[in-house]
Structure 1
Amino acid sequence: MDVNIYGATMPHLLADEGLGFSTGLAGTIGSWTTFGMLIGALTAGTLTDWLGRKPLVTASVLLFSLGSALCAVAPGAALFGAGRFVSGLGLGGLMPIGLAIVAEFAPPRRAALATGLMMTSYHAGGMAATGLGLALAPDHGWRLVFWAGVLPAVIAVPLVLKWLPESPGVLFAKGRTQEAYAVADRYGLDRPGTAQAPEASAKGRMSAIGALFAPGTRWATPLLWTASFAGLLLVYGVSTWLPELMRATGYSLSSSVTFLMVINAGGIVGMLIAGRTADRFGPVKVSAVWFLLTACGTFVLRAEMPLGAAYTVVFLTGIWLFSAQVMVYAATARVYAPRERATGLGWVTGIGRTGAVVGPTLGGVVLAGGNAGLGFTTFAVAAVLGAVAIGAVPLVSGRRRDPEPDAAAALLASDGRPSQS
């Protein structure tokens, strides 16, 4: 919701003369948010093994709520931009930690489905932001919409502090062995040992980063970064420019805006389908196939077709596009051992954020030439790049031989099926 509130209130921000917004400045501030998310993802993914999952989740929620409050009270564009940057730090930090928690606590045969279920909330939040913008901003002003972004600090943080379990591996690394065993027993997890426990020190944090390039993962790491880059380029590029691309293809303004709602609805359905399919066949295969189907869908949209057919293609493309990226995260959770998983997810999501910056810019450059077909072709090429990158991961990843491997870490070589070793 907080990510999408900015777009949902954009017409009202531009119309507020006291705020001093221009179209160019609005785009720059949008980039500040994405830059904050990149820093937040890299930082939180590295620090969470030292400070713990629960404190970092709490800090992330408080940060993006604080950022929303700064936007709500901002007298001008400078403080508003600072608020969006602070929001980005919290939003970027929350993603890899949430993914790491799901990977750790979900039943191994349902880990991809759990990841998909978690990520449906992104699209639900985006639709909620649109609803808030339509319901509140015209009569009550855009500031009230940003005040709604403060609610997580009031509602979610107390629930997180009371109910969110800490990682047994992190507790074990901190020497809180009995607490670690109690959490593991309560949630039906294997009791942690030294193989699952991250090193809770500065040296340990550097070791976790270095382990991303250890034998068995040194080639998988850049491939995962590339797949995440391509996936987020598609997510943000298509989300930003789909209405304009459809208008340039020949559809009306109202229909073009509706396409954005349709593709997000497809995204929710896609998370559920991809999660269940990945638990059976493995997230690497599903992500690669979904990227290729995304390439087909975006390429087909180059041609003007009857409105009903266009809605169908956009809906199907939404099913594949968003969940292709999420299955990259599910695959990442299986590539790295438990002690490096949060760091690995942090860097995959952080590096991927560069794609979130490039996607809207690239779409704008292509669309400025007036060729919608070239725009769709560009996104199709990015999808093929994502398919090649994620599809190559099993070819370069060695089988892990941790003395105490957990179920998720043992799945990579078989791409989602339990190994026989």
Structure 2
Amino acid sequence: MKTSEASSNRKQQSTVRWVVAIATMALIFDGYDLVVYGTIVPLLLGDPTQLGEVTPTTAGALGSWALAGMMVGALVAGAIGDYLGRRKIMITGIIWFSVAMGLTALTNDVTAFGALRFATGIGVGALVATAGAVVAEFAPKGKRNFYNAIVYSGVPVGGVLASLLAIILLDAIGWRGLFLIGATPLLFLLPMALVKLPESPEWLMARGRTAEAERVSIRTGVPIHVLEPVAGSDKAAVAAEKIGFRALASKKYAFPTLLLGFMSFTGLMLTYGLNTWLPQIMSQFGYGKDFALTFLLVFNAGAIFGGLIASVGADRFGVKRTVCTTFFLAAVAMVLLTMHLPLGILLALVAVAGVGTIGTQVLIYGFVSNYYNSAARGAGVAWCAGFGRLGGIFGPLFGGLLMAAGVQNHVAFYVFSGVAIVGALITLGVPLRNSEITAKQRPARVELATADAEK
């Protein structure tokens, strides 16, 4: 019995490692795609032979097409993902964005480039919306936020990778070569996913495919008893169960879904707003262009490492409490950035701001992934990724309005700090569910239940 249990645990650990690795690599290339365009904008603006005449206005519009595509991709994945399954959406997303990146490298005019940026964004959005659901349904309960943080940290890692490869390779291979690198997951990640990414047993069980769920459970080591008995094996109950966006509109989820969407909106507004305007704001404090890359690298590195540390706290103390804390830390850090402090302290505060913005958004995806049952999980993550993307679009625009209005640099930080406080307050309003009761809270509830039973 012990030998069988140990073998099952080894299978589960191996499955989780593969699932997390595949999802992480997918999001690394998603982050690569989002940032690589920014690295070639100066080339497109200065050389009409690349795509034709590209003005700053045109360049801004081309950048927004990918974000719009992400919103569409996330919402479409949410609409169909809870019906088709996690595996199909992940594999389709990998194929979609890889092919679109490769075709983008072959374009010769602005219109085709913009259309393919939108198409690439659709694939990216589908993967961002599905990755959290995949992790939530394979990772052990005590480590779900940690594994989720690893996966979604792939986005800033991809951004750093795009920046470094552009510095090293742009002159040698041109912008087309950089986009072809973004298509390489078709060669290695797709075969890996086809072989090593199973369908979620939890999703199979929720759809009433009990026998198939049991076979996958035995093969992967993912135990059946951790699955949510959404509809069991009763096919009539499965048919009656609200799936996808219909479930989000139910009495059970409607209000929390609204709050979770606005949490994601504020998180992505801060993430994209500060990634866009942090160097410009700091330049008004007297820091030259040489510091621009340093501030951005520290901002994103803080998000990667600080987000992983925060995820451990989320698994131990509860993700809601942790998200409130990181939002608050971002607010405090941005207020302190307005003071004339030594450079080392400023860099530390920028790193904390990264934890409280990008790192917070990573935790939000984990919060959402674990909040819903399997019938609504894909739609829930997709809603937050899609609606939140509006915040991602609005953040840079809002920062631009502040800069155009000539406000002082410290006012911009105060405004973004206020957004972080609003995010914390919204988070406080989200009702707790049983899955978010921490280990410290459970004994007290057990004692209370026992006392009630004895009465």
Fold shared, TM-score > 0.5 on shorter chain? yes
CA contact (8 A) 2:94 2:186 kept: yes
Residue 326 (structure 1) aligned with residue 357 (structure 2) = no
Give the structure 2 partner of residue 233 of structure 1.
269
**Structure 1 match to 2:430:** 393
Determine the structure 1 residue equivalent to 2:81.
48
Return the alpha-carbon distance in structure 2 between the equivalents of residues 152 and 414 of structure 1: 38
**1:411 corresponding residue in structure 2:** 435
Query: Counterpart in 2 of 1:404?
Result: none
| Most deviating of 109-118 and 137-146 | 137-146
Q: Is the contact made by 1:112 and 1:330 (CA closer than 8 Å) also made in structure 2?
A: yes
Give how far 1:59 is off: 1.1
Partner of 1:405: none
Distance 1:85 1:91 in 2: 10
Distance of 1:239 and 1:415 partners within structure 2: 36
**d(CA) in 2 for partners of 1:391, 1:113:** 21
Alpha-carbon distance in structure 1 between the residues aligned to 2:115 and 2:258? 31
How far did residue 307 of structure 1 move?
1.9
Q: Does 1:119 align with 2:152?
A: yes
Question: Aligned ranges for residues 5-404 of structure 1 at < 5 Å?
Answer: 5-18=36-49, 19=51, 20-172=53-205, 176-185=209-218, 186-190=220-224, 195=230, 207-370=243-406, 371-394=408-431, 399=433
Q: Distance in 2 between matches of 1:197 and 1:40?
A: 30
Shift of 1:309: 2.0
CA contact (8 A) 1:283 1:415 kept: no
1:79-128 CA-partner distances (Å, limit 9, x unpaired): 11111101100111001211001011111011111111112211211111
Amino acid across the alignment from 2:427: I
Whole-Å Cα distance in 1 between the matches of residues 44 and 399 of structure 2? 23
Asked whether the equivalents of residues 136 and 142 of structure 1 are also in contact (C-alpha less than 8 Å), the reply is no
Supply the AA of the counterpart residue of 2:323: S
Aligned to 2:153, what secondary structure does the other structure show?
A: helix
Q: State the superposition RMSD in angstroms.
A: 2.4
Alignment partner, residue 452 of structure 2:
none
CA 1:245–1:16: 2 relative to 1, 3 Å: same
Gaps in structure 2 of 5+ consecutive residues: 1-31, 450-455
Q: How far apart in 2 are the matches of 1:69 and 1:203?
A: 41
**Matched residue SS, 1:135:** helix
Residue 177 of structure 1 deviates from its aligned partner by: 3.1
1:196 CA drift (Å): 5.9
What is the CA-CA distance between 1:55 and the residue it aligns to? 1.5
- Cα deviation 1:350-385 (Å, max 9, x = unaligned): 110000100011111111233222221121111111
Asked if the contact 1:33/1:87 (under 8 Å) is kept, the reply is yes
Deviations 1:132-173 (A, max 9, x none): 111111233111101101001111111001100101133346
Shift of residue 256 of structure 1? 2.4
Q: Given the superposition, is the C-alpha separation of residues 329 and 393 from structure 1 closer, same or farther in structure 2, using an over 3 Å criterion?
A: same
Q: Which amino acid aligns with 1:375?
A: A
CA distance in 1 between partners of 2:87 and 2:74 (Å): 15
Larger Rg: 2
SS at match of 2:253: coil
CA spacing shift, 1:204–1:90, aligned 2, 3 Å:
farther
- Equivalent residues of 1:281, 1:417 under 8 A apart: no
Q: Counterparts of 1:417 and 1:13 in 2: how far apart (Å)?
A: 56
Q: Is residue 91–residue 190 contact of structure 2 (8 Å, CA) maintained in 1?
A: yes
